[in-house]
Amino acid sequence: MPCNVIAIANQKGGVGKTTTCTNLGIGLATEGMKVLLVDCDPQGSLTISLGHSQPDQLPVTLSSVLGKTMYDTELSPQEGILHHSEGVDLMPANIELSGLEVSLVNVMCREKILKQYLDEIKSGYDYILLDCMPSLGMLTVNTLAAADSVLIPVQAQYLSAKGLEQLLQTINKVRNQINPKLKIDGILLTMVDNRTNDAREISALLRETYETKLKVFNPDIPHSVRAAETASYGKSIFAHDPKGKVAEAYRNLTKEVLKLETQRQKSKSDLLR
C-alpha cells in the first residue's frame, strides 16, 4: 500500500486539530499501520501533546530538516524523528518554524519544500499525518501541496462553521495551481456538546449544508474534560481514558479513514482493469 499523507487543517485555532492528529495517528498504529505524525505548527502543540514539554530545547525539528531540504544539504531519513511509546513516530516542531516560514518566501518552488522532504522518507510509512498551524500562510500551503487528502476538524460553533468556506477556497486554489490530486476526506465535528441546542443546531446545519458535497464523519467527537487532559500527560485518549466516549469516537474515525483508503484503492484497481 502506498503511503497516505493526510493534512489535518483548519485556519481557526482550538478546533481539535492536534487532538485529532494524535488520536487518529495512534488509532492507525494500533491497527498495525506504520505512522509518522508531523508537527507543522511553530507553537509545537503536537510535540508537547506527545510528551516533549520543552520543544525549544529539541536539537532537531521540522525547521532543521526543511532548512536542509531547501539548501540541498545531506539529510539522513530518520534525522530528528522521535518515537512515542504508543507506536507512532513524531517529527517535532518549535518556534524556529516561524522563522523558516519567512525564509520560504524567497525560495524556488517554495510551496513544495515539505513535499520534497516527505518524498524522501515516506517509503517507511503507511500514513503520515500533518498537524497544520491555525493560519492559511505559506506553511499551510506547503502541507496542502504535500498531502494526498485533507481532514477538516470543525467545532460545532457558529464562527468555526463560518471559517470553513475560506479553508475550502484555499484547498481549491491549491488543487487548481499546485496539487491537482488533493482530495477532501471529510469534515469532522469536534468537541460537540449534545446537551446544548446551539451545538445540535450547528451540527445539523453543517451536515445539511455540506453532506451533498463532502463527507461529514459520523459520529462526532464529543466534548470531554478527559480528552482535554491528555496533552498534559503526553499520551493519547486510548491510554488515558480507554473506555470513554471520546476514545470510542476516535476508534470509529480510525475505521472510517481506513475504509476510505480501501475504497480508493478498489476504485483505482477497477479503473486499471
> Which single residue is written with the C-alpha cell 477556497?
169
Residue boundaries of the structural domains of the chain: 4-272
Q: Residue type for 131, please?
A: D
Instruction: Quote the pTM value.
Output: 0.94
Contacts of 233 (CB under 8 A, 6+ apart): 239, 240
Q: What is the pLDDT of residues 4-39, one digit of tens each?
A: 999 999 988 888 899 999 999 999 999 999 999 999
- CA angle at 157 for the pair 154 and 160, rounded to the nearest 5°: 50
> Residue type at 165?
E
Pick the closest to residue 230 from 218, 221, 239, 217 (CA basis): 239
Extract the runs of DSSP E, i.e. beta strands, from 11-73: 35-40
**What does the block give as the cell for 96?**
524556529
pLDDT-derived band at 197 (thresholds 50, 70, 90) equals: confident
Q: What is the pLDDT of residue 173?
A: 94
Is there a contact between 93 and 42 (Cβ–Cβ < 8 Å)? yes
Q: What single letter denotes the amino acid at residue 230?
A: T
Q: 500514513: which residue's cell?
A: 127
| DSSP class of 150 | E
pLDDT in tens, 220-270: 898 888 777 787 888 899 999 899 999 999 999 999 999 998 888 888 777
Q: Note whether 9 and 133 are within 8 A (CB).
A: no
Characterize the bridge pairing of strands 149-155 and 183-190.
parallel
Q: What CATH class does 4-272 carry? A: alpha beta
